[in-house]
Amino acid sequence: MAQIGIDIDQAQVFLKSGQLVGIPTETVYGLAGNALDPEAVALIFETKNRPSFDPLILHTSALERVGDFVENFPEPLRELAEKFWPGPLTLLLPRKSIVPDLVTSGLDRVAVRVPNHPLTARLLTSLDFPLAAPSANPFGYISPTQALHVEAQLGDKIPYILDGGACQVGLESTIVGMEEGQVVIYRLGGLDISEIEKVVGKVKVKDHSSSNPAAPGQLDSHYAPRKPFILGNIETLIAQKKAEGVDFAVLSFSESFERIPRERQIVLSQSEDLHEAAQNLFAAMRKLDETDVEVILAELMPETGLGRAINDRLRRAAAK
């Protein structure tokens, strides 16, 4: 079983010897390995059971180090990096050949991010290589936002999990790149689009319904609980499931339901705060997935701010 702790030196020893470590970030926990060591990178794919055509994000400690891995830094993307790093923003940049093919799945851009978490920042600063780190969940399942989530699913496959507490953002990073001079969002995430648009003006969003080979991880069914996950008007869904005699649990934005047992419902934010809802989302989905009901009923958030990214994850969870 993995050891869980806050020993950065210990994490460093494992990473230097080519092993993998669970690391906290502000978005979700990552499954980290030496990004410049093809064998460590291969071990990430194997451990996550992830198809090798789905590329990884390279994590580094500072903007100043990114030049080691990328050929150039298009101006609008540099402005975003200066404004939002460390933070929940991943940039697609032209890669240098030092980055192994396996990291980028052979694509000519590498995804780079400077995460904002004190433990991981210290770890990255102390290493002389960057870390490749996908979310630390088995491929297709809900991303982990606590060390115990990592332990539950990958604990028997990795030696160490750095415990940085519950993730403050709770949604994966927003992925941004350029196409024909225009800034494009490839994955909605923890950094709200309106924040990005304040810096670079109007952006294009390539959502998951468009065919999107540039971000192959944007598969429809992703972030999915094991139980059927049904989206709609909760009152209507409850009535339906009751009539069908099906046992259910409820995931709602702000409302609680009196006639439903407490352990079968989770409210994401009583005060309708989308940041709080994002923080709670994945842990709530996991918790309801572990109850003994047959289906999970859920509703969409308002389509504003982080609500768009939350709804993206909810729709994917429902797309089975």
**Peptide bond preceding 86: is omega within 30 degrees of 0, i.e. cis?**
yes
Are residues 206 and 215 in contact, defined by beta-carbon separation less than 8 angstroms?
A: yes
Contacts of ligand TXA in 141-200 (CB under 6 A): 172-173, 175, 186-187
Among Mg ion, ligand TXA, none, residue 215 binds (CB under 5-8 Å by kind): ligand TXA
**Which whole-number Å values give the CA distances from 36 to 101, 125, 177, 216, in the listed order?**
10, 16, 22, 22
30 binds ligand TXA (CB under 6 A): yes
Residue nearest to Mg ion (CB): 135
Q: Pick the stretch among 76-84, 151-159, 191-199, 209-217 that binds ligand TXA (CB under 6 A).
A: 209-217
Q: Minimal distance in Å, beta carbon 143 to Mg ion? A: 5
Among ligand TXA, Mg ion, none, residue 25 binds (CB under 5-8 Å by kind): ligand TXA
Q: How far apart are CA 44 and CA 105, in angstroms?
A: 13
Looking at the Cβ atoms of 25 and 135, the one nearer to Mg ion is: 135
The CA R_g of the chain, rounded to the nearest whole Å, is 19
Contacts of ligand TXA in 57-116 (CB under 6 A): 57, 90, 92, 104, 107, 109-111, 113, 115
Q: Minimal distance in Å, beta carbon 95 to ligand TXA? A: 8
Amino acid found at 203: V
Q: Across the strands, what pairs with 183?
A: 178
Q: How far apart are CA 8 and CA 22, in angstroms?
A: 12
Q: Say if residue 194 carries a ligand binding annotation.
A: no
Q: Say if residue 126 carries a ligand binding annotation.
A: no
x/- binding map, residues 96-135, to Mg ion, per CB under 5 A?
Answer: ---------------------------------------x
- Detail the residues annotated as belonging to a binding site: 27, 50, 59, 113, 133, 135, 143, 173, 187, 223
**Which residues define the annotated binding site for ATP?**
50, 59, 135, 143, 187, 223
Q: Report the interface residues with Mg ion, using CB under 5 A.
A: 135
Residues found near ligand TXA in the complex (CB under 6 A): 25, 27-28, 30, 54-57, 90, 92, 104, 107, 109-111, 113, 115, 133-135, 172-173, 175, 186-187, 214-218
